[in-house]
Amino acid sequence: MLAGRRYFHYKHPELCYTVVDLVVIEETDGVWVLYRVDNESLKGIVFLRLIESFFNEVVITGKKMKRFSLAEI
């Protein structure tokens, strides 16, 4: 289960994001990750990203890295 797990985003490693839940878009059967940022100044902001995109890798200056990395907090 992903809900409740916390992740860091490669662009903002100083911020932590918590997965709220998974969402299925009925028309496309696409599975999406609903997540929120754990930061007081950004409180209330939620994001929605395709699950494949959430867990894929990105290439930054020739180096592969995960878009989101599980926070071991």
- Which pLDDT belongs to residue 73? 63
Residue 46 lies inside a defined structural domain of this protein: yes
- 54: CATH: 2.30.30.320
- Which pLDDT belongs to residue 41? 84
- Which pLDDT belongs to residue 16? 93
Whole-number Å distance between alpha carbons of 51 and 65: 16
Give residue-wise pLDDT tens across range 10-69: 998 899 999 999 999 999 989 999 999 998 888 889 999 999 999 999 999 999 999 999
pTM of the model: 0.87
- Which pLDDT belongs to residue 59? 96
Count structural domains, the chain: 1
- Which pLDDT belongs to residue 39? 87
Structural domain that includes position 59: 6-70
- Which pLDDT belongs to residue 61? 93
